[in-house]
């Protein structure tokens, strides 16, 4: 059974475009955890915007702000790399010529994007839901990021089958 390479390329490009949009949305939302302040990747529990304070801070004993800044960076990289991967996939679809270098770039970018999203989600969820004395549940942004991670995984697996 021969798998249609053009169809797989279109599906993978769509999935990486969706992944980019999902991670942009989850990065922008403040609802990573459901608690009294709705903490997100843009601020720490005291409401300070993490981009405007110096990390590490003497008052930040749990390194929460550093974790949030790291999560924000990895999720931002996921957005950028998934958009670049989608652009390369669209180029491959439009050219209809099998170029081994482009195919290798697509596969490397797909799995780099997957690694970045795994790191970003695995740092951001504990940083926003497990900090402090009270328990926090997942917020909308956490759920959206997990869905984005799953879509990213499917897209990376599909790129393995593109020839």
Specify whether the CB–CB gap between 159 and 105 falls below 8 A.
no
Give the least confident one: 101-105, 118-122, 138-142, 151-155: 138-142
* pTM for the predicted model, two decimal places: 0.79
Specify whether the CB–CB gap between 40 and 141 falls below 8 A.
yes
CA distance 69 to 53: 11
Indicate the SS3 state at residue 138: strand
Q: Are strands 33-34 and 137-138 parallel, antiparallel or unpaired?
A: antiparallel
CA distance 54 to 86: 35
Residue 46 pLDDT more than 90?
no
pLDDT the model gives residue 99: 84
Residue 30 pLDDT more than 90?
no
Residue 21 pLDDT more than 80?
yes
CA distance 80 to 46: 29
Q: For 25, how many CA atoms within 13 A lie in the half-sphere containing its CB?
A: 16
**Average per-residue pLDDT for the chain:** 79
Predicted confidence (pLDDT) per residue in 76-126, tens digit: 899 999 999 999 999 988 887 778 899 999 999 999 999 999 998 888 877
Closest CA to 103 of 2, 8, 33, 28: 8
């Amino acid at each position: 059974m021969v798998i249609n390479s053009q169809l797989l390329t279109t599906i993978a490009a769509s999935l990486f475009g969706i992944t980019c949009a999902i991670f942009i949305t989850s990065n922008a939302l403040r609802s990573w955890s459901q608690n009294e302040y709705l903490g997100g990747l843009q601020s720490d529990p005291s409401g300070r915007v993490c981009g405007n304070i110096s990390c590490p801070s003497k008052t930040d004993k749990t390194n929460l702000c550093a974790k949030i800044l790291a999560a924000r960076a990895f999720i931002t990289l996921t957005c950028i790399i998934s958009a670049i991967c989608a652009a390369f996939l669209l180029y491959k679809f439009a050219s209809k010529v099998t170029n081994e270098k482009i195919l290798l770039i697509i596969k490397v970018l797909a799995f780099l994007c997957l690694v970045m999203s795994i790191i970003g989600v695995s740092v951001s969820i504990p940083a926003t839901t497990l900090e402090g004395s009270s328990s926090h549940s997942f917020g909308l942004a956490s759920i959206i990021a997990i869905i984005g991670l799953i879509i990213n995984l499917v897209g990376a697996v599909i790129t393995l089958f593109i020839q």
